Chains A and B, each alone.
Chain A
Amino acid sequence: MRTLIALILMLFAAPVLAQSALPPAPYADRQLDDPRLEAKARDLMMTIRCLTCQSQSIADSNASMAGDMRSQIRERIAAGEDPEAIRSWLIERYGDWVSYEPTASPILWPLWAAPVILLALGFWLMRGRIRRRKASS
């Protein structure tokens, strides 16, 4: 019985232990050993916003939260997770705001249509300036 109580107490103590003794983010500033996986993780980190900074990705931030997120991403990549799955997981946790890569959400459709619309508009305006072959002869 006494052991059981001790065990239960230890269970409750676990978060406190985690805060003080355990290194919080082992992969915050440590690269993965496999360069291919590291490159994958890096590409993803470049497109994830540091939530406590000013317009920086977590790949170039000193903030501790960015370090934690880098570590999370490296661990998940090392565990064989797909980068886009990790992104969805982060978005679920922190909202669309966390991803610099605009998602396919309908509110962003105009953003993806912008280049096409602008180019079409530009060419239409330009057409008026260029003399057509027939008109010149």
Chain B
Amino acid sequence: MIAEAGLAALWLAAALAFLQLGLVWFGLTTDKPELLASVRPVAVAQGVLTALSFALLVTLFLRSDMSVALVATNSHSAKPWLYKFAGTWGNHEGSMLLWVMVMGIAGMAVALFERALRRDTHMATLGAQAMISLGFYAFLLFSSNPFARVNPAPPDGQGLNPLLQDPGLAFHPPTLYLGYVGLSVAFSFAVGALLTRNVDAVFARAMRPWILAAWILLTLGITAGSYWAYYELGWGGWWFWDPVENASLMPWLAATALLHSVTVLATRDALRAWTIMLAVVAFSMSMVGTFLVRSGILTSVHAFAVDPERGTFILGLLALYIGGALALFGWRIGTVREGAQFELVSRETMLVVNNLLLSVILGLVLIGTLYPLMTEAFGHKVSVGPPYFDRIAGPVALALVIAMAAGPLTRWRKDQARAVAGRLLVPAIVLLLAFAVVSVLAWGRIGVLPFLGLVIAAGVAVGSVAPLWKRNLRRTPLFTYGMVIAHLGCAVSLAGMAADSAFTVEKLVAARPGGVIETAGWKVRFDAITPIAGDNWTALQGDMTASRGSGSPIDIHPQARFFTAPPTNTTEAALLTRWDGQLYVVLGQEADDGRWQVRIWWKPFVTLIWLGGMMIALGGTLSLLGRERRGWLQKLRRRSAVAAA
């Protein structure tokens, strides 16, 4: 009954999306305000129905209802409840329903909270949102029905991929999807603005918070995903340039560029066409990513079910939406004037440089990700991996980070090159000092990119805080703090990446219980192996203690786990976090002679990578609050005035 209700809610939501599109279309073309008046309630109802449908699927998973095919193939009654819950989106159909729900809720939010946008643009935006939702409803209902029954119901399910059985599954996919799909709002805004010929500074100010919100969530989702991969895979890597990671990085790069160009549009009413283009590109990248992951042309832990029919379906949607948006862009962009030109030395130019470099990185990641597919079509299988991306995108990213430090120190409209250089003096001195220090410590022993990374991170960290210099800190607006913290976060993250790749110490040994392993100033004593059991796994656990210098020993317990459904081995690394890095201990397999494979890494300052990511998201949040607070305060005041009257 629950499954049927869920399916019905989904069909109803799809019907409402169709209605919403029709209402907007006829309302705008025939100028009937009474039709438009019902658009917002319909959008809200659609959002509520998708949420209901999703909640019903979650219920089915929590109850382990094995008569539902999706639950039977992806869940197991012995799983802890958290993984039954999070397992809802640990599969193809469930994650697509999550996608559709986020899209529905985003549309609902635009209907409920958007007040600054001109009315016809607002309506056209909701129409565009309904239009893209429709395609994904169709995808879900016709080729990926999550509520399909199986008869007879199997006695128990086949279980969830054990790599996914981790608290990370409860956090990473929903946050990432909120950001990924949240970008659909920017896409709809762009389409709405093109349709109603309304691209200006007011429009940009209305669109900015939506971009910012999606971007914050995307940042958090990527950061969480990276940390999850780092501790789960058991080899200490935190970014693999896996096509699926690239699929999440590309929308982030586009959204970051968009965030900066929309600020130019909001402040100076320039870069109109470019901003609209980026808004289209950002969500297009989300869709391209989904296509790459779900079509099965790439294999990955994220490609749950490989099915060419689904791939073709998504490819069709891609062609329809991206092609449609680009056609609309080409048709209407002639009517959008680009606005004023910029002075060479100005904040505007710096932001254009930011956009240029971000777009180049985006282009490189896109080309590098798709290239193996293209050569395979010519019968030549190649791999494009970390060596290419690091070497090619790395230097561009370093240049971008330097521009990031200089940008906020340059004035809007017109500035003097000498004045900018003067403001950059202190960061430049710090950069030179860092160069000297790192040279003394590690000249010739570390790679060029990590070396430059460390040096530039130091200079840019100081440069990022420089905008607060000589300012009244209590009167500095919140969004300026937001920018400073986000930029500082980039420097912090860069420092972590560089330190990790430059100074990581690796130790692989075969050890007997009772032995002591020494590496990088740490002493790891291997006491014993104990068998333990969890809900649906058994494990051999290494009982070890780690101590550094004269410090007291700390118990650590790396595990080699064996899951029964489906039968899989995984490793649970033991992590010991210190202010200056992380000790990463993995228990491998037993050798024939009774010794155990133990892998130990000391990773100096590696945690800065994710700390930086969180700072970037925090900066975005402060920025959002700072920009939006005024509106909320006014609304509150108005409301209390109404209440008093």
- Chain A positions within 8 Å of B243 at CB level: 55
Distance, CA A122 to CA B357, complexed state (A)? 8
Residue A115 at the chain B interface, CB threshold 8 Å: yes
Say how far A132's CB is from chain B's closest CB, in angstroms.
8
Task: Please count how many residues in chain B sit with their CB below 8 Å of the partner chain's CB atoms.
Answer: 56
Contact B392 A115 (CB under 8 A): yes
Contact B344 A29 (CB under 8 A): no
Contact A118 B300 (CB under 8 A): no
Distance, CA A28 to CA B236, complexed state (A)? 17
- Chain B positions within 8 Å of A30 at CB level: 508-510
Contact A122 B341 (CB under 8 A): no
Interface hits, B204-243 → A, CB 8 Å = 233-237, 240, 242-243
Contact B383 A130 (CB under 8 A): no
Residue of B nearest to A125 (CB): B356
Residue A59 at the chain B interface, CB threshold 8 Å: yes
- Contact mask B144-166 → A, CB, 8 Å, 1/0? 00000000000000000000000
Contact A114 B367 (CB under 8 A): yes
Residue of B nearest to A23 (CB): B592
Contact A107 B375 (CB under 8 A): yes
Residue of A nearest to B338 (CB): A129
Residue B452 at the chain A interface, CB threshold 8 Å: no
Distance, CA A129 to CA B338, complexed state (A)? 9
- Chain B positions within 8 Å of A89 at CB level: none
Distance, CA A105 to CA B379, complexed state (A)? 14
Residue A80 at the chain B interface, CB threshold 8 Å: no
Distance, CA A114 to CA B365, complexed state (A)? 10
- Chain A positions within 8 Å of B599 at CB level: 29
Residue of A nearest to B384 (CB): A102
- Contact mask B295-327 → A, CB, 8 Å, 1/0? 000111100000000000000000000000000
Say how far B158's CB is from chain A's closest CB, in angstroms.
20
A-B contact count (CB 8 A): 131
Say how far A124's CB is from chain B's closest CB, in angstroms.
10
- Contact mask A16-46 → B, CB, 8 Å, 1/0? 0000000100000111000000000010001
Distance, CA A31 to CA B600, complexed state (A)? 12
Given A62-B569, A62-B571, A114-B367: A100 and B385 interface contact (C-beta under 8 Å): yes
Given A55-B300, A96-B381, A123-B356: A60 and B508 interface contact (C-beta under 8 Å): no
- Chain B positions within 8 Å of A54 at CB level: 242, 299-301
Given A31-B508, A97-B383, A114-B364: A131 and B341 interface contact (C-beta under 8 Å): yes
- Chain B positions within 8 Å of A60 at CB level: 233, 235-237, 240
Distance, CA A29 to CA B586, complexed state (A)? 12
Distance, CA A99 to CA B372, complexed state (A)? 12
- Chain B positions within 8 Å of A108 at CB level: 371, 375, 382
- Contact mask A75-117 → B, CB, 8 Å, 1/0? 0000000000000000000011111111101011001001100
Distance, CA A95 to CA B240, complexed state (A)? 21
Chain A contacts to B: CB under 8 angstroms? 23, 29-31, 42, 46-47, 49, 54-57, 59-62, 95-103, 105, 107-108, 111, 114-115, 118-119, 122-123, 125-126, 129-131, 133, 135-136
Sample of 15 more A-B contacts, CB < 8 Å, known A23-B592, A100-B384, A102-B387: A29-B599, A31-B506, A47-B385, A57-B240, A59-B235, A111-B368, A119-B396, A122-B360, A126-B353, A129-B341, A130-B341, A130-B344, A131-B342, A133-B344, A135-B341
Chain B contacts to A: CB under 8 angstroms? 233-237, 240, 242-244, 270-271, 298-301, 338, 341-344, 349, 352-353, 356-357, 359-360, 363-364, 367-368, 371, 375, 378, 380-388, 392, 396, 506-510, 569, 571, 588, 592, 597, 599
List 20 A-B residue pairs with CB atoms under 8 Å apart, sorted by A's residue number.
A29-B508, A29-B510, A29-B599, A31-B506, A31-B508, A54-B299, A55-B298, A57-B386, A62-B588, A95-B381, A96-B380, A98-B383, A100-B384, A100-B386, A100-B388, A115-B396, A119-B360, A122-B359, A126-B352, A130-B352
